[in-house]
Structure 1
Amino acid sequence: MWRSLASNALTLLAVVLVLAGGLVMWGKRQYTSPGPLETAICLRVEQGTNMTRLSDRLADIGAVSDATILRLGAEYTEKSHLLKAGSFLVRSGASMEEIVDIVTRGGRSTCGTELNFRIGVTRAEVELREVDPQTERYVEVLSFDPGTDAVPEAYAAYRDRTDLRFRVTLAEGVTSWQVVEELKAADFLSGTVADLPAEGSLAPDSYEVSQGADRAGLIAEMQARQTRLLEALWLDRQDGLPLDSKEEALILASIVEKETGIPEERRRVASVFVNRLRQGMRLQTDPTVIYGVTEGKGPLGRGLRQSELRRETPWNTYVIDGLPLTPIANPGRASIAAVLDPETTDYLFFVADGTGGHAFAQTLAEHNRNVARWRQIEAERAAD
């Protein structure tokens, strides 16, 4: 009898184990298989949320088929305690395993709202934008000039969100004075910048920052990036360039940056200045004269006067020989690369051609014809 009872108990135990194993396998398939989410969503995880509340919310919105399985899977993989606050892109059909990985992997938001403080050559702009989960592209919510525009009422609501990301973007060709002055209006930064950074020492780039980041620390990062970039490009420079130092390369790059906004022209424009330096010709470039007038403190806002073209300053390349005293702006990677690897040409002159680009010439006679065509275009535009 006892032997029969023991045999039945063992049989029952075996059945229970088989059923339990089957249940585990079913749960694992549910955890790793594609989920029911039909369209991508931006999942916002508030500070202090735990895996239980998150799993219930995911079940309520139809992102997962079973909240309990998600919780158990997170516990089994030892990820429950790794949940981070932020906004995360969850694509359609994401499995529970993928969702848990997304919200615990590194804590960095992959969608949601971003504040981008753009510093341009003529103005700054605060742009709030959100990721559209369907296209995975940013869509502008609002924008304004912090120096001249009234702050939109909606800005305050976004500004205080815990998952808001912050970014500072520098355009190519901004001056160091402009950067420091505009950063004063970035209300999500803290601290002051004691000394004006050397012209040309800041890398035009996009910088992700945290709320309350130190302005001086951000400036230091901009300088470090420009130093690394210049050193790397200097090592790959052409042989025989009339540039004796990285500083001279930076000066010439800043001139190229201010002379053309056409990417395809940079190496050609650089070739004109390199050819002039090799022949001992003055560079005769208007942006250097403008810098001598403004010293980088904002755009000139008008045309140059003849008296300014004749006035001697350390930057007026119509008057001085060779390169100006310092860079005249902060050049980007493309302009630095252009002066260290210019096109091989015989061009010595260029002038605007009316299309946004320039007409290049080898001789003064040819250049004068190009200038006459440009003057005619200017006259026709003025008449219209």
Structure 2
Amino acid sequence: MFRRSKTQDPAPSAPEPVSQPNRLAPRSPSEAIKPTAAPPPPEKPVRERGGLLSAVSGLLTLFVILGLGAILGIVVLERQTNEAGPLPADKVVVVPRSSVGEMAELLQREGVIGHPMLFELTARFGRKAALKAGEYNFKAHASIDDVVDVLVQGRPVQHAITFPEGLTSEQIVARLNDNDVLTGDINETPPEGSLLPDTYKFERGDSRQKILNLMRTKQREVLNQIWARRSPDVPVRTPQEMVTLASIVEKETGRADERPRVAGVFVNRLQKRMRLQSDPTIVYGLVGGRGTLGRGILRSEIDRVTPYNTYAIEGLPPGPIANPGRAALEAVANPSRTKELFFVADGTGGHVFAETLEAHNRNVARWRQVEKAKAAADPGTTIGVDKVEPPAQADPAAAGAALPPRTALPGAPLAYDGGEANTAARSRAFDASEGTARDPLRNKTFDLNSPKTVPVLRNP
């Protein structure tokens, strides 16, 4: 075992001094009880923000602000657009085809809206559909939202024009020309009997020709339907003949309950080869499509031969004498089953019917008594419906002498008995519509033209 020599042993190092904690300097008791100040907080480290994250955060904040502002704006606009408008009462306004701004100015001038800018905003951004021009009825105190709805839905004001049954085509054209809501010219007067009298709806600006075309279309539809279900006993061979007979029925009576019965009388006369002897056919033969004669028929005019005078011709005239309505067409297609051959006015707007000439003459006598009683009660009332005395210089034979009886067809009664008074009981004929509810001189809606000069017709 080796022993390390002393010379080889390292010298022992001096012990390192032990660090002593800092000692506070002794303080006085008064200083010891004083609180010491807290050390300051550490400084925050500076962080570098990324560019993308900052941009996204800013955009989100902006979108939130804008969204809240938009919601608030929409709420305010919605409230204002639903407020009652300034219009004090319902008003019809014609809105032409124009821009939204021009529409707003027009509506403001008309007193419909009070804020044109708000109207434009609502129309441009609040509705997907475009505003439509037209004539509209705006309700009193309509809000801007209501006004925009009316223009978007496009439901213009509907006008109506009525054509009474029995008008001629020329009279119908005159009524269309008198209407200032319709526009355009009529190309030509439609054929007699080709139009269906009725009430037709239209909008401002529609053409007159459009109404005529609609009337022709409706007439064809109705005529085809009625012709398909007509009675096989009716002696008409074509739809046009049915229209012709229906036009005579239409002019003979204005009472709905009498149409089938009057049609039955004319059907019976056709089947017996008797002349129809209808006074309205005389009038049409004299004045044509101009409609009314404006006075009573003269005795000389009964004998005047025209293609339409059913006192002078056999069977039906060559065409209709007016435009009959649906009811008259139905009456001819399915007339009353009767043996009656005559009818005469009863003085109240209706007629009395008879199967024999003797019974008819008695009805004529009663009718004359009723007319005389009316004349006695009212001195200003003329007997019957003959309102105009025939001028002596025009026809001396018509000054009051009784007409001689005419040679009747086999099985036919005396002439001039076609639905009115027999000639033996009267000295003058008269317009079958005069004195009734359909009298054009009493109801101006039926009399569209002033009386015209009767043209001179040549006998064939």
User: TM-score scaled to structure 2, two decimals?
Assistant: 0.56
Alignment correspondent of 1:257: 250
How far apart are residue 299 of structure 1 and its match? 2.8
Match of 2:423 in 1: none
SS in 1 for 2:77: helix
Aligned to 2:136: 88
* Pair 1:73 & 2:122 matched: yes
Contact 2:249–2:328, Cα closer than 8 Å, also in 1? yes
| Secondary structure of residue in 1 paired with 2:308 | coil
Residue number in structure 2 paired with 1:40 = 90
1:212 Cα deviation (Å)? 11
Determine whether 1:266 maps to 2:259.
Answer: yes
Structure 1 residues 185 and 102: CA distance shift in structure 2, 3 A: closer
Conserved? CA contact 2:245–2:320, under 8 Å: yes
Q: 2:120 is matched by which residue type in structure 1?
A: R
Partner of 1:155: none
Q: 1:179 to 1:71 in 2, by over 3 A?
A: closer
C-alpha separation in 1, matches of 2:176 and 2:59: 76
Q: Which residue of 1 aligns with 2:100?
A: 51
Structure 2 distance, partners of 1:185, 1:41, is: 24
Question: What does residue 103 of structure 1 align with?
Answer: 151
**What is the aligned partner in structure 1 of residue 363 from structure 2?**
370
For residue 304 of structure 1, give the secondary structure of its aligned residue in structure 2: coil
User: What is the CA-CA distance between 1:57 and the residue it aligns to?
Assistant: 5.7
Q: Give 1:368 shift.
A: 2.5
Q: Give the secondary-structure state (helix, strand or coil) at the position aligned to 1:43.
A: strand
Q: Equivalent residue for 1:158?
A: none
Distance in 2 separating the partners of 1:72 and 1:372: 80
Aligned residue among 360, 363, 367 for 2:353:
360
Q: CA 1:11–1:311 in 2, change beyond 3 Å: closer, same or farther?
A: closer
Return 5+ residue gaps in structure 1 as ranges: 115-137, 139-166
Aligned match of 1:349: 342
The alpha-carbon distance between structure 1 residues 191 and 315, as it changes in their structure 2 partners (threshold 3 A), is closer
Q: Matched residues in 2 for 1:5 and 1:177: separation?
A: 81
Counterpart of 2:277 in structure 1 is 284
Query: How many Å separate the matches in 1 of 2:197 and 2:129?
Result: 39
- Tell me, yes or no, if structure 1 residue 243 matches structure 2 residue 236: yes
- 3-state DSSP class of the match of 1:42? strand
Q: Give the match's secondary structure for 2:361.
A: helix
For 1:374, give the aligned amino acid. Answer: W
Query: What is aligned with 2:314?
Result: 321
Return the letter of the residue paired with 1:276.
R
Counterpart Cα distance in 1 of 2:112 and 2:91: 9
Verify the 8 A CA contact 1:51 1:83 in the aligned structure 2: no
Structure 1 SS opposite 2:92: strand
Q: Which residue of 1 aligns with 2:67?
A: 17
Letter of the structure 2 residue corresponding to residue 88 of structure 1? Y
Alignment of 1:109-124 (within 5 A): 109-110=156-157
| Residue 315 of structure 1: how far off its partner (Å) | 2.9
Which runs of structure 2 are paired with 1:159-308 in the superposition (5 Å)? 170-176=163-169, 189-190=184-185, 193=188, 197-205=190-198, 206=200, 223-308=216-301
Give the corresponding residue for 1:143.
Answer: none
Change in Cα spacing, 1:53 to 1:329, as seen in structure 2 (3 Å) is closer
Which amino acid in 2 is paired with 1:253?
Answer: A
Verify the 8 A CA contact 1:271 1:342 in the aligned structure 2. yes
Q: Contact (CA 8 Å) 2:136, 2:150: kept in 1 or not? A: yes
| Stretch deviating more after TM superposition (178-187 or 91-100) | 178-187
Give the Cα separation in 2 of the matches to 1:304 and 1:60: 58
**What amino acid is the match of 1:43?**
V
Q: Distance in 2 between matches of 1:286 and 1:239?
A: 27
In 2, Cα distance between equivalents of 1:38 and 1:183: 34
**1:74 Cα shift?**
1.1
Q: Which has the larger radius of gyration?
A: 2
Q: Shift of residue 254 of structure 1?
A: 0.9
What are the Cα deviations for residues 189-211 of structure 1, in whole angstroms up to 9, with x where unaligned?
A: 54764xx7543234445585987
CA displacement at 1:239 relative to structure 2: 4.3
Aligned residue number for residue 125 of structure 1: none
Cα distance in 1 for partners of 2:119, 2:177 equals 46
Match of 1:27 among 54, 77, 86: 77
Q: 1:102 to 1:281 in 2, by over 3 A?
A: same
* 2:241 partner amino acid: E
CA RMSD of aligned residues (A): 4.3
SS in 1 for 2:353: strand
The one-letter code sitting in structure 1 at the alignment partner of 2:157 is T
Do the aligned partners of residues 87 and 334 (structure 1) sit closer, same or farther apart at CA in structure 2, a change above 3 Å counting?
Answer: same
**Structure 1 residue 290, shift from structure 2 partner:** 2.8
How many Å apart are 1:251 and its aligned residue? 0.7
Separation in 1, partners of 2:175, 2:109: 45
Q: 1:244 to 1:29 in 2, by over 3 A?
A: farther
How far has the Cα of 1:95 moved from its partner?
4.0
Q: Which has the higher helix share?
A: 1
> What TM-score does the superposition give when structure 1 sets the normalisation length?
0.65
Question: How far apart are the structure 2 equivalents of 1:29 and 1:375?
Answer: 76
Q: State the one-letter code of the partner of 2:228.
A: L
Give the Cα–Cα distance (whole angstroms) in 1 for the partners of residues 170 and 84 of structure 2: 53
Which letter does structure 1 place at the counterpart of 2:149?
Answer: D
Local SS of the residue matching 1:88: strand
